[in-house]
A and B are shown apart, each in its own frame.
Chain A
Amino acid sequence: MTALHRSAPDPIGKAEAEEFLIHEARLLDEQRYDEWMNLFAPDAYYWAPARAGQPDPHAEVSLIFDDREIMQQRIKRLRHPRIFAQLPPSRAVRQVTNVTVDDVDHKRGECTARSVFFMYEFRPTLPEPIHRIFAGEYRHCLRRSGNGLLIAWKKALLVNCDASFDPIFLYF
Chain B
Amino acid sequence: MNAPDLLPIAGPLDGLIREDRVHKRLYNDAEIFRLEMERVFGRSWLYIGHASQVPKPGDYLTAYMGLQPVILVRHQDGSLHVLHNRCAHRGAMIRTDARGNTGKSFYCGYHGWTFKTNGELLAAPLKRAYAERYDLKCGDFGLARVPRVGVYRGFIFACLAPLSEPLPDLETYLGIGKQCIDKIVDRSPTGELDLNGGVQKYVVRANWKAQVENLNDTYHPPYSHECTTDENKRQFKRRPGDDGGPLLASDENQSIWDRIDAVAFDYGNSYCGPLPFNHEARGGPLYEAHRAALGERHAAEKVDEILTDNFHNVIFYPSVVMQLASIHVRTVRPIAVDRTEICVYPIRLKGVPEEMNRQLVRYLNITHSAASLIQSDDVEMFRRIQGGLASDGAPWVWFNRYMGDEADIPGGQSSIGTSELIMRNQYRAYRGYMAGAIP
> Which A residues fall within an 8 A CB radius of B?
48, 50-51, 54, 57-65, 70, 73-74, 77, 80, 82-85, 126-127, 162-169
Contacts and interface: CB of A to CB of B under 8 A. Distances in A.
A84 B361 contact: no
Sort A-B residue pairs by CB-CB distance and give the 6 closest, nearest first.
A60-B198, A85-B380, A127-B387, A167-B376, A80-B227, A168-B371
Contact of A64 (B199, B341, B365): B365
Interface in B353-390: 357-358, 361-362, 364-366, 368-371, 373, 375-377, 379-381, 384, 386-387, 390
Interface stretch (B71-79, B179-187, B201-209): B201-209
Given A58-B358, A85-B380, A168 B370 contact: yes
23 contacts: A51-B198, A58-B358, A59-B357, A59-B358, A59-B361, A60-B198, A61-B197, A61-B368, A63-B370, A64-B369, A70-B373, A73-B373, A77-B227, A84-B380, A85-B377, A126-B387, A162-B199, A162-B201, A164-B202, A164-B342, A166-B379, A167-B371, A169-B371
A163 B361 contact: no
A124 to B, nearest CB: 14
A33 to B, nearest CB: 15
B370 A166 contact: yes
B236 interface: yes
Given A59-B198, A62-B365, A126-B387, 11 more contacts: A50-B200, A61-B365, A77-B227, A82-B226, A83-B377, A84-B224, A84-B227, A127-B386, A165-B202, A168-B370, A168-B371
A10 B419 CA distance: 65
* Contact-size category for B: 35 or more
Contact of A70 (B200, B203, B366, B368): B366
Contacts of A73: 236, 366, 373
A117 to B, nearest CB: 16
A23 B99 CA distance: 41
A65 B346 CA distance: 15
B94 interface: no
B369 A84 contact: no
Contact of B381 (A50, A54, A84): A84
B371 A82 contact: no
A80 B202 CA distance: 23
A55 to B, nearest CB: 11
B217 to A, nearest CB: 16
B421 interface: no
B376 A168 contact: yes
Interface of B: 98, 197-203, 205, 224, 226-228, 236, 341-344, 346, 357-358, 361-362, 364-366, 368-371, 373, 375-377, 379-381, 384, 386-387, 390
A63 B357 CA distance: 17
Nearest to B388: A127
A35 to B, nearest CB: 22
Nearest to B372: A167
Nearest to B328: A61
Given A50-B198, A73-B373, A80-B227, A166 B364 contact: no
A65 B200 CA distance: 13
Nearest to A80: B227
A169 B369 CA distance: 11
Given A85-B377, A127-B390, A60 B361 contact: yes
B197 A167 contact: no
Nearest to B361: A61
Contacts of B370: 63, 164-168
A169 B198 contact: no
A77 B203 CA distance: 22
A82 B370 CA distance: 19
B377 A84 contact: yes
Contact of B369 (A50, A58, A80): A50
A17 B299 CA distance: 59
Nearest to A169: B376
Nearest to B203: A164
A17 to B, nearest CB: 26
